[in-house]
């Protein structure tokens, strides 16, 4: 049996708790749906793809510019458990925020186990620096950055908020929405999925957001689908507690019918609560 935060699980059940794909209703349909929607937004919206923020091939950003100047910038970090996915696959996420008047930047990064998770965290932080400096070329305000991260992307956004490497905190980040994130790496290391990720013992303390709260009290939306596993939902509860203890105003947003993948599709619908919370955080409501 595996013990975790007062609960006992068989290895099979533990893997189910920490592999969202094993709980979601229809995970096999997700990649094609993302591709169709992302192809469609590129066909109708101006964009600049593959802008380099570093020297490695995957250190790139896709930007959908704002229609005006000085717009808030939504920075999106994709999920995929740090070992899958790309910004290009997730371009569709930009649509509702472009319509609201934002500039949207989607960050690409290297994947585990080709690189360790520490490299990916450093890339996320470097991307924020690049966006802050260059947003003005795409209608955005580099001092008004808002993060949106899903799953592993929520982890990366949380690690950006915790960045201890900069003397000036947060590089213009004014708020963040973290959706269905993983904030404690200890169970990931003990789950079967780690065969694909390659987390080491030192990664747990160094890169678990539960031990690295935000450096500045920025407003947060911490969202999770209640159709996810009990332990995955608990991750969001725990991180919201940590962020509040660090002084962040936190909106805890439970999505009653959502599994791990549906929130990013649901934000395409007017009236979606997560969509409204993000737009409101940027001051565009």
Rounded CA separation 155/149 (Å): 7
Number of domains in the chain: 1
CATH code for the domain of 209:
3.40.50.1820
DSSP string, 163-224: --S-SSGGGGEEEEEEES-----HHHHHSTTHHHH---HHHHHHH-GGGS--SS---EEEEE
The β-bridge relationship of strands 2-4 and 7-9 is antiparallel
Whole-number Cα distances in Å, 252 to 127, 219, 274 = 27, 11, 10
Q: Name the band, by pLDDT with cuts 50, 70 and 90, for residue 163.
A: confident
Query: Containing domain of residue 108, as a range?
Result: 2-281
Residue 165 pLDDT > 80: no
25-52 pLDDT, tens per residue?
999 999 999 999 999 999 999 999 999 9
What percentage of the chain carries pLDDT values higher than 70? 98
**pLDDT confidence of residue 166:** 64
135-158 pLDDT, tens per residue?
999 999 999 999 999 999 999 999
Beta strands in the chain (DSSP E): 2-4, 7-9, 48-52, 60-64, 71-77, 103-107, 140-150, 173-179, 220-225, 250-255
């Amino acid at each position: 049996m595996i013990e975790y935060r007062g609960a006992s699980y068989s290895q099979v059940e533990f893997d189910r708790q920490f592999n969202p794909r094993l709980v979601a209703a229809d995970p096999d349909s997700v990649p094609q749906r993302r591709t169709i929607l992302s192809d469609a937004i590129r066909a109708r919206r101006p964009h600049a793809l593959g802008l380099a923020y570093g020297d490695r091939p995957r250190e790139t950003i896709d930007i959908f510019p704002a229609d005006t100047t000085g717009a808030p910038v939504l920075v999106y970090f994709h999920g995929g458990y740090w070992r899958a996915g790309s910004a290009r696959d997730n371009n569709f996420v930009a649509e509702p925020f472009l319509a609201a008047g934002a500039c949207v930047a989607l960050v690409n990064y290297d994947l585990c186990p080709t690189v360790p998770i520490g490299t990916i965290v450093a890339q996320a932080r470097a991307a924020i620096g690049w966006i802050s400096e260059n947003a003005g070329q795409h209608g955005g305000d580099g001092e008004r950055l808002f993060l949106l991260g899903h799953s592993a992307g929520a982890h990366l956004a949380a690690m950006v908020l915790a960045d201890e490497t900069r003397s000036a905190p947060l590089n213009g980040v004014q708020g963040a929405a973290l959706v269905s994130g993983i904030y404690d790496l200890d169970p990931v290391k003990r789950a079967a999925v780690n065969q694909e990720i390659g987390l080491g013992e030192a990664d747990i303390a160094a890169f678990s957001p539960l031990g690295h709260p935000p450096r500045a009290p920025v407003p947060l939306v911490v969202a999770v689908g209640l159709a996810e596993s009990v332990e995955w939902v608990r991750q969001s509860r725990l991180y919201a507690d940590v962020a509040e203890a660090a002084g962040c105003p936190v909106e805890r947003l439970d999505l009653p019918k959502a599994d791990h993948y549906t929130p990013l599709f649901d934000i395409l619908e007017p009236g979606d609560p997560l969509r409204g919370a993000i737009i409101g955080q940027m001051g565009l409501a």
